[in-house]
Amino acid sequence: MLLSAFVMTYLFGEFELDPAQRELRVNEEVRPLQPQVFDLLLYLIEQHARVVPKGELLEQLWPDAIVTESSLQRAVSLARSALGDRGPELIQTFPRQGYRFVGDIVAPEKPSARVALRPRYAQSGDVHIAFTTMGEGDVDIVVVNGWILPMRAMFQHPKTRGFFDALSRLGRVITFDKRGTGLSDRVKELPPHEQRMDDLRVVLDACDVEQALLIGFSEGGALAMLYAATHPERVRGLLLCGAFARMTRTSDFACGWAHEEMERLKGYIRGGWGRGASLRPIAPEGLRQDQEFLDWVAFAEQEGTSPGGALDLLQMNMEIDLRATLPAIRVPTAVLQVADDKMIHPGNGAYLAKHIPGAWYVEVEGSDHVFFFERQDQLLATVKRLLEHEPAEVEEDRFLSTVLVGSGRADEPAWLEEVTRFGGVALPDKQQAYFDGPIRAIRCGVVLAKRLHESFGVHAGAVVRLRSSVRGQAFDVAEAIAGQAPAGEVWVSRVLVDLVPGSDLRFAPTGGSVTEKSWEIPLFSLRRED
């Protein structure tokens, strides 16, 4: 993708090139352009003072692909055609050098938002995650968008662009496209939480971030919460905006979406995706009939993902249940909730604030869900408060972890070999290990159960690092699970089932349970594929 560092509208003769809307207008009529043709025209206009070499254009337009000059020649031809009779005059060829835009350009003296928009890529396994940064300073702020909202759309509307501009004055802002959305690689399967955490980690690593403030919007809040619980040492604070711990309604959670509400959304995705109706009901009142906003929503849907991708990611949302992990979040946390949110029931915000230790709750009037349009003041004020907040000093190093406990001996060579191979840390004396992801722990248990013909239990909960060891009730629970499991099988707690939506792991209820802090936790066996 190629976007201007300054978002402005360029005027030349009867033409108007608008990077914000990604439109070429001729006498106020839109003239359609393919994305790379638009990017070519925009780049030539930005660099109009010089001849742009062909190699530079190829690199800018196709940064992650190998193409020939014929692709560039075709893009130039299409750009000239869009400019009509003046095309060859405005875009001139310099043999053996490149191309130059030679029209007289009129542009506003003061560009609107100063943001760096050219993406970079971090590799997470075999998937490329697109991200961008803007601003600078000693503070890192990471924005995790909701559902399918791509970062490219976030810079295409004046209000969202203005939000990022204001946020970048507080520090360096980092945002990214989650796998399967925007400029990141499309994926064939649902991304489980563990993969999504890995994606966030590689982005932080690529930006050399030691510790960041995480802002999670809507579904992005789930990823932010899980990461904060698992890697508290890398999270300075957590801001949750219209977020939820569980999306669907159950007998013990009345704040989720009802089945019929989900089916209506699925129906729209199947039959109307790309027309901009998904966010219309949840927008601020003043924008629901605003054509510019509706066009922006349509653009966001188109750029975000395909209808099939939207359905897959919605299914992932429906399977999210982080209620059991909330007490493990120990970083400074603020929860912003609109009182009559049409998208996420307002009870979700209150639930998060109640179950995350030390979290404070801010409720604002309204019925919208999209915080960065009309609620920038509340957002920025809460960000400043979090940045000023000093976390309480604690003697214990607490974090969320998935623990694996076996019924055998710790000195069996296969035990340490497999734990290490799956990225876990083995503890001495007993078959006990901990992992930063539940899928890795379960798969390790499957291999060990097959190799050693022993029983294994897996559970997730808060653990404490004490000097050279790690302890916590989670190990006791996992040991109790292993004690109930038959030899050669892996049993897991219900907490694990809720943490691996999107994976290919399948579970069956055993009828057994274990007790943790007076709570009865159902147990599940893993259906193993030999």
Rounded average pLDDT over 511-530? 83
Band of the pLDDT at 64, cuts 50, 70, 90?
Answer: low
Q: How far is the C-alpha of 400 from the C-alpha of 495, rounded, in Å? A: 12
Last residue of a domain, one of 336, 357, 388: 388
- Helix 413-421 and helix 438-452: axis angle, to 10°? 150
Asked whether residue 115 is domain-assigned, the answer is: no
Highest mean pLDDT among 70-84, 113-127, 305-319, 514-528: 70-84
Same domain, 136 and 41: no
Q: Map residue 385 onto helix, strand or coil.
A: helix
Does 71 share its domain with 95?
yes
Contacts of 203 (CB under 8 A, 6+ apart): 122, 129, 131, 142, 174, 176
Q: Phi/psi of residue 13, each to 5°?
A: 65, -130
Question: Can you give the pLDDT at residue 115?
Answer: 39
Q: Would you state the structure tokens that stand for residue 28, as one six-digit string? A: 């106020």
Query: pLDDT, tens digit, for every residue of 18-36?
Result: 876 778 988 778 888 888 8
Give residue 349's pLDDT.
94
Q: Are residues 326 and 430 in the same domain?
A: no
Residue 421 has pLDDT above 50, yes or no: yes
Give me the mean pLDDT over the 511-518 stretch.
87
Q: Is 164 part of a structural domain of the chain?
A: yes
- Residues 6 or more apart in contact with residue 99 via CB below 8 angstroms: 44, 51, 52, 54, 57, 76, 91, 92, 93
Q: Could you give the count of Cα atoms lying within 13 Å of 249 in the half-sphere of its Cβ?
A: 12
Task: Report the pLDDT averaged over residues 232-252.
Answer: 93
Do 184 and 241 reside in the same domain of the chain? yes
For residue 106, tell me if it sits in a domain: no
Tell me, what CATH number does 90's domain have? 1.10.10.10
Which residues lie closer than 8 Å to 220 by C-beta, 6 or more apart?
143, 144, 145, 146, 178, 243
The mean pLDDT of 298-317, rounded to a whole number, is: 88
- Give the CATH number, domain containing residue 408: 3.30.70.1230
CB 150 within 8 A of CB 183: yes
Percent of the chain at pLDDT above 90?
A: 49
Distance CA 203, CA 466 (A): 29
DSSP structure string for 301-366: HHHH--HHHHHHHHHHHHT-B-GGGGGG--S-EEEEEETT-SSS-THHHHHHHHHSTT-EEEEESS
> pLDDT by residue (tens digit) across 118-145?
789 999 999 999 999 988 888 999 999 9
Half-sphere exposure of 472 (CA within 13 A, CB side): 24
Residue-wise pLDDT for 182-200, tens only, equals: 999 988 777 888 899 999 9
> Which pLDDT value is given to residue 485?
95
- Residues 215, 312 share a domain: yes
Per the rule left: phi > 0, alpha: psi between -120 and 50, beta: everything else, 517 is left
Among the candidates 101, 131, 154, a domain finishes at: 101
Does the pLDDT at position 63 exceed 80? no
DSSP H or E segment with residue 30: strand 29-31
Q: Quick one: 373 and 416 in the same domain?
A: no
Share of the chain above pLDDT 70, in %: 93
Q: Is it the case that residue 418 has pLDDT exceeding 50?
A: yes
Are 336 and 409 found together in one domain? no
Mean pLDDT comparison of 137-146, 267-276, 299-308, 390-399, highest-scoring range: 137-146
pLDDT score of 396: 61
End-to-end CA, the chain: 44
Q: Is the per-residue pLDDT at 454 higher than 80? A: yes
Q: Across all residues in the chain, what is the average pLDDT? A: 87
Phi, psi of 99 (to 5 degrees): -135, 155
Residue-level pLDDT at 112: 40
Q: Enter the pTM of the model.
A: 0.75
In terms of domains, do 226 and 364 share one? Answer: yes
Write out the H or E segment, with its range, that includes residue 124. strand 120-124
In a shared domain, residues 82 and 175 = no
User: Are both 258 and 360 inside the same structural domain?
Assistant: yes
Q: Residue 75 is encoded by which pair of tokens?
A: 């893009």
Domain housing 513:
397-526
Check whether residue 415 and residue 470 sit in a common domain. yes
Instruction: Confirm whether 188 is domain-assigned.
Output: yes
Q: Is 283 among the domain residues? A: yes
- 439 against 112, higher pLDDT: 439
Q: Is the pLDDT of residue 530 over 70?
A: no
- pLDDT for position 4: 37
Q: Look at the chain and count its residues.
A: 530
Q: Do the domain assignments include residue 248? A: yes
Task: Tell me: pLDDT of 334 over 90.
Answer: yes
* CATH (domain of 370): 3.40.50.1820
pLDDT digits (tens, 9 = 90+) for 492-501: 999 999 888 8
Q: What residues are paired with 420 via a beta bridge?
A: none
The answer to whether residue 109 sits within a structural domain is no
Q: What is the pLDDT of residue 279?
A: 67
Q: How many domains does the chain divide into?
A: 3
Rounded mean pLDDT of 413-421?
95
Three-state secondary structure readout of 234-251? HEEEEEEECCCCECECEC
One domain for residues 323 and 174? yes
Comparison of pLDDT for 522 and 293, the residue scoring more: 522
If you average pLDDT over residues 2-14, what whole number do you get?
Answer: 61
Q: What is the pairing mode between strands 235-241 and 172-176? A: unpaired
pLDDT at res. 109? 42
Helix, strand and coil percent figures for the chain, each rounded to 5: 40, 25, 35
Please name every residue paired with 409 in a beta bridge, in sequence order, or none if there are none. 430
- Choice between 526 and 112, residue whose per-residue pLDDT is larger: 526
| β-sheet with 10-12: strand ranges across | 10-12, 15-18, 23-26, 29-31
User: Rounded to whole angstroms, how far apart are CA atoms 54 and 52?
Assistant: 7
Identify the bridge partners of residue 525 per DSSP, sorted by sequence position: 491, 508
- Give the C-alpha separation, 28 to 21, whole Å: 13
Q: What's the mean pLDDT in 46-64?
A: 85
Residue 64 lies in a domain: yes
Query: According to the model, what pLDDT value does residue 20 have?
Result: 67
**Domain end point (choices 366, 388, 410):** 388
